[in-house]
Structure 1
Amino acid sequence: MSTTAEETHNKPAREVADEAARRRTFAVISHPDAGKSTLTEALALHAAAITSAGAVHGKGDRRGVTSDWMDMEQARGISITSAALRIDYGDCVLNLLDTPGHADFSEDTYRVLSAVDCAIMLLDSAKGLEPQTLKLFEVCRARNMPVITFVNKWDRPGREPLELLDEIEQRIGLRPTPLNWPVGIAGDFRGLIDRSEGTYTKLTRTPGGATRALEEHLTPEQAAEAEGETWVQATEEMELLGEIGAEFDEKSFMAGESSPVLFGAALPNFGISKLLQTLVDLAPAPPDPVDAKGERRPLDAPFSGQVFKMQANMDKAHRDRMAFVRIASGRFERGMVLTHANTGKPFATKYTQAVFGSERSTVEAAYPGDVIALVNAAALSVGDTLYAGPKVEFAPIPSFAPEHFAVARAKDSGRYKQFQRGMAQLDAEGVVQVLTSDVRGEQAPVLAAVGPLQFDVVSHRMAEEFNAPVELAHLEYTMARRTDADSAPAAHALSGAEVLKRRADGELLVLIHNKYRLRVIERDNPDLVLEPLLAGGADNDA
């Protein structure tokens, strides 16, 4: 059968559309210690991407979590930097962007949320909605992002399930629609009822939770006989859900108005397979991206993508710099020459990889929704656009308002070149914002951070990766405002304020001691330009 010219022309477009429809790109958001890294491991385990899940504090033959690749993460048992994990599951490709849970690294999480189409909101069964979860949910709400809720740690003592659903609705206005229901109170977890099918999956633990939990499927009659009164209580609670209309609605879910809720326990790997299938069935495929002008760009348009994260020295043997790019449109092929929108210069993509924690594999082709890592990307920064064909540029990714400031100096003046290289690298990655001024000089830049733990990361990486240990002298400033060249001289002369330039983009920031001093400055100098930045940790105006 012959192929027409029109069919030949449309084949690449159909391929891009078909491949994009298979993609699910999502992030996991939570408060620290809700079990996010453990859930990430469990998802990868159930998708057969790994053979044995690790705990954050591994024992025996359990290794560290796959997504926590940095030495400091493994030592402290917290996620410091986001990680990209690509998982093939059935006919779908899941691009899971793991994020730091600690509030001090919320700016990194925000950048990741700019690169995903859906979020899993992870709740601790005992604690419910916590401050960092609320903050990150508001970012999702601002982006109209669909959210799937996973109530974790049901194998430990916790709250009543109906109480948790009520909290979700009352505190964040998100209507919960449970897809499954736990049998047994938190801490006495027996299994899960699938609400749509009415079937029961009984929990059978595996030693240490290092392998997939054994799932025994029972009919309602078998479950009633096995679980007795516990089953009766669970079915009565489900009847109440039906009476209040807590049923899944795709339209409200996609609009960010309701959230399908799943219960489970990530450590023993129970309820994870249902979460994976829910992602496949309900999470959206990549949409047509919107450029900086607010115009829709078709998925099958020529290649375009945006850098949402920079990371250096993931491979200690090569000391390379890697740019993580979310593909927005078109088909990517390794070796293609792209254009860097900021400079108009060509960018070769000979070395392109998919990253699974600390492991890498070469990428030959990728499609909208995929995340690729470009190696030796010294010319790129967070927010940059790369494209093929006619020029396109996406809106920049905003920086958070810093609230902690410290002057950095090299402990050994003979290692000034290494100090400068390290400062430039950490600034480009967004580990901290590096601020400079003629008064302080290049040898004493001011580091600006959302949270103080970012300074610990700077100290660790400067010593370990750049062999240039630093001394940090903390400043009394607690907030920053954006200003312009006309207002800068007057602002710099004010008591309790200082003007510095952000190295990354040249933007002028006014550092101010506290909110009370800011109010006085604004009252006495109404003509000064003092614009708020995107709120980071605590509200800068609170």
Structure 2
Amino acid sequence: MSELQEELRREIEKRRTFAIISHPDAGKTTLTEKLLLYGGAIHLAGSIKSRKTQRHAVSDWMEIEKQRGISVTSSVLQFDYDGCRINILDTPGHQDFSEDTYRTLMAVDSAVMVIDVAKGVEAQTKKLFKVCSERGIPIFTFVNKLDHYGKAPIDIMDEIENVLGIRSYPMNWPIGQDGQYLGVYDRRNKKVLLFAADTSHGQQARIADVYEPDDPAVIARIGEENFQALKDDIDLLDEAGEPFDMEKVNAGELTPMFFGSAMTNFGVQDFLEGYIRMAPTPQPRPSSDGLIAPDDEKFSGFVFKIQANMNPAHRDRLAFIRICSGKFERNMSVWHERSDKLIKLAQPQQFLAQDRQIIDTAYPGDIVGLFDPGIFGIGDTICDEHHKFKYADFPVFPPEKFARVQAKDTMKRKQFVKGMEQLTQEGAIQLFQQAGAGMESYIVGTVGTLQFEVLEYRLKNEYNVDIIMQMQPYEVARWLAFEDGREVTPASLKGADRGMFVYDRHQNPVLLVNNEWALGWITDNNPDLLLNHVPFDKKEA
């Protein structure tokens, strides 16, 4: 084995790259913060909406996120713990940002699903879970907010199985009843962990007192009733529960489940250590040239996110790259598949949200930010010039909401166009031009309405442009082509006036209509017309 392969194997063994997924407000960003706190990356956790300290969550870096207490972009965070290098991708829980989340899930090897103990499995969790199960990646579950009143743990297990179709294996079990939890029972080590009172409101790591299950001090602290209830639960789980099977975990068929409260640090360290022990190291990736193994000596990676203006002082733009194989070195030259050119990777950075540092090397599993002068697109492959291939394409989301957008002040047209272009390249919006209309306005398509607010906010704050936005009545977009290949124009399409005829950024014809009924009329009257939810060369999400 060559020296480089030795080095790669060693580094790959240390890497764990995962995304945290959940419904809004299940406590995902808080959990991310607490993991960083245990990893020593931050010394005092900034409670999300805390009025006392006015600290905001480290991973919510965009101003709009701090104001509203929700995540609208995926943050990339990295820290070391117990000899491992952890890369966390904190994703937005809000449904309008599912595209960003979807792309993030393409860049990880496992996912952590956060469930609110009071609410159980919610709509957004279902959607994101489906994406993970389609990719077949292992899923770990953290049942959060145990410091509040919630459903019984056994009911949460049933719900996960019935709603998501995956069996769960509790790695620990809460001690106590009805939201009055005093600690957890660690099933693997057969130990009782009772937590000392949390006096720092979750801002510092919390110490647990560890006991043998039959230690009289346990009954003294938790009471006879709680002790008996715990004993009964554990007997039931051991006899009737799903046996632990690592193969099923790796295939995404069994989810190891942890109970805790991120806000008060209850059970967070147990979860972190359990996750590191079981989670997969970087995995091989499908490409146009078969599976690419992470310990392949030739470098490769792909762009899964582009973010403009992370640092408003610099007005910069970063492409986030997931490294899939080989060793990344600063200033190396790689082949960029989309432009078919060699490019030099200068100023590579790693992150703790907005705080970043320049790095010299990185390995498979790592996420690196590259300064982007405008050459990268979402899903682009970069690889060694001696082994050229392409990683599988990212799926595309059909837009469902539309608005006409133009700059209030025509003198600011240049900044307006630049801002719209940037946000389109980030994948936050889809841009269309109405056939026959002037260039002063665009038609913008998004997956949800919250994205229009973000668009307006960012154009104003990052490009100093106020916009006029008029929502459009259309809810359905279809890309158009005739079977014989002749050009689709408003004149050649019967019923084009029943909707709005627009062109996407690559000049492909698209028709926006109010509903499926209007679409039916157009299909009936243009028998040789082909309609697609997304551009013909893309795959739908």
| TM-score, normalised via structure 2 length | 0.94
Alignment of 1:164-179 (within 5 A): 164-179=156-171
Give 1:449 deviation, angstroms.
Answer: 0.6
Q: Secondary structure at the match of 2:530?
A: coil
Residue 46 (structure 2) pairs with residue 54 (structure 1): yes
2-side partners of 1:453 and 1:348: how far apart?
37
Give the structure 2 partner of residue 318 of structure 1: 314
RMSD over equivalenced CA pairs, Å: 1.9
Give the structure 2 partner of residue 427 of structure 1: 424
Give the structure 1 partner of residue 444 of structure 2: 447
2-side partners of 1:494 and 1:294: how far apart?
43
Give the structure 1 partner of residue 92 of structure 2: 100
Give the structure 1 partner of residue 515 of structure 2: 514
Which of 14, 23, 29 does residue 15 from structure 2 map onto?
A: 23
Give 1:174 deviation, angstroms.
Answer: 0.2
Which of 219, 239, 242 does residue 212 from structure 2 map onto?
A: 219
Give the structure 2 partner of residue 287 of structure 1: 283
Residue 351 (structure 2) pairs with residue 359 (structure 1): no
Residue 407 (structure 2) pairs with residue 414 (structure 1): no
Give the structure 2 partner of residue 199 of structure 1: 191
Letter in 2 for 1:479: V
Ranges in structure 1 where 5+ consecutive residues have no aligned partner = 1-6
Provide the identity percentage: 40
Give 1:295 deviation, angstroms.
Answer: 4.1
Q: Secondary structure at the match of 1:189?
A: strand
Q: Secondary structure at the match of 1:530?
A: strand
Residue 145 (structure 2) pairs with residue 150 (structure 1): no
Q: Secondary structure at the match of 2:457?
A: helix
Alignment of 1:112-261 (within 5 A): 112-204=104-196, 205-220=198-213, 221=215, 222-228=217-223, 229-261=225-257
2-side partners of 1:528 and 1:200: how far apart?
67
Alignment of 1:524-535 (within 5 A): 524-533=525-534
Letter in 2 for 1:518: L
Which of 79, 83, 88 does residue 71 from structure 2 map onto?
A: 79
2-side partners of 1:55 and 1:526: how far apart?
59
Alignment of 1:487-502 (within 5 A): 488-489=488-489, 490-491=492-493, 493-502=495-504
Give 1:298 deviation, angstroms.
Answer: 5.3
Distance 1:189-1:321 versus aligned 2 partners, 3 A rule:
same
Give the structure 2 partner of residue 262 of structure 1: 258
Q: Secondary structure at the match of 1:290?
A: strand
Give 1:58 deviation, angstroms.
Answer: 2.4
1-side partners of 2:480 and 2:13: how far apart?
44
1-side partners of 2:244 and 2:444: how far apart?
46
| Kept in 1: contact 2:282–2:294 (CA 8 A) | no
| TM-score, normalised via structure 1 length | 0.93
| Kept in 1: contact 2:495–2:522 (CA 8 A) | no
Q: Secondary structure at the match of 1:42?
A: helix
Distance 1:492-1:196 versus aligned 2 partners, 3 A rule:
farther
> Which segment drifts farther, 353-362 or 228-237?
228-237
Give 1:206 deviation, angstroms.
Answer: 2.9
| Kept in 1: contact 2:303–2:378 (CA 8 A) | yes
Give 1:397 deviation, angstroms.
Answer: 1.3
Distance 1:522-1:249 versus aligned 2 partners, 3 A rule:
farther
List per-residue Cα deviations over 1:107-126 (Å, max 9, x = no partner). 10001001001000110001
Give 1:155 deviation, angstroms.
Answer: 0.5
Distance 1:43-1:298 versus aligned 2 partners, 3 A rule:
closer
* Number of residue equivalences: 527
Letter in 1 for 2:512: L
Ranges in structure 2 where 5+ consecutive residues have no aligned partner = none
| Kept in 1: contact 2:59–2:90 (CA 8 A) | yes
Give 1:48 deviation, angstroms.
Answer: 1.1
Give the structure 2 partner of residue 4 of structure 1: none
Q: Secondary structure at the match of 2:510?
A: strand
Give 1:526 deviation, angstroms.
Answer: 4.5
> Which segment drifts farther, 381-390 or 74-83?
381-390
2-side partners of 1:146 and 1:54: how far apart?
29
Give 1:337 deviation, angstroms.
Answer: 1.5
Letter in 2 for 1:384: D
Q: Secondary structure at the match of 2:285?
A: coil
| Kept in 2: contact 1:62–1:210 (CA 8 A) | no
Letter in 1 for 2:442: P
2-side partners of 1:245 and 1:487: how far apart?
61
Which of 471, 475, 479 does residue 468 from structure 2 map onto?
A: 471
